[in-house]
């Protein structure tokens, strides 16, 4: 199952038209991919904990945007398992 989700993420990334993404899009995608586990651990919607954690990650970028998407194949196995549990 982990490999299926990993393949789906790779396929999704391949389906993106990178030239259509602006640096803000790329940065948001990278923040989610690179911090997925931390965002899940932040909690649910009560008290907006997850969005507050996301906002902190955005602020930590200090206004710097990414120009390249993160390598999805570099996701750790436990991050893929978290994605599976959400599906």
Q: Please state the pTM of the whole predicted model.
A: 0.66
Per the structure, the complete domain to which residue 34 belongs is given by 2-86
Which pLDDT score, from 0 to 100, does residue 59 have?
Answer: 95
Structure tokens at 53: 């954690």
- Smallest CA-to-CA distance from 40 within 69, 6, 79 is with 79
Could you give the percent of the chain with pLDDT greater than 70?
A: 67
For residue 49, pLDDT beyond 70: yes
Say if CB 78 and CB 9 are below 8 A apart: no
Domain count, the chain: 1
């Amino acid at each position: 199952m982990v490999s299926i989700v990993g393949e789906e993420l790779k396929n999704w990334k391949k389906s993106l038209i990178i030239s259509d993404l602006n640096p803000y899009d790329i940065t948001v995608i990278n923040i989610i991919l690179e911090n997925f586990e931390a965002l899940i651990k932040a909690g649910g919607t009560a008290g907006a904990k997850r969005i507050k954690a996301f906002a902190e990650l955005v602020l930590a970028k200090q206004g710097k945007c990414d120009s390249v998407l993160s390598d999805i194949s570099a996701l750790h196995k436990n991050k893929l398992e978290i994605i599976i549990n959400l599906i």
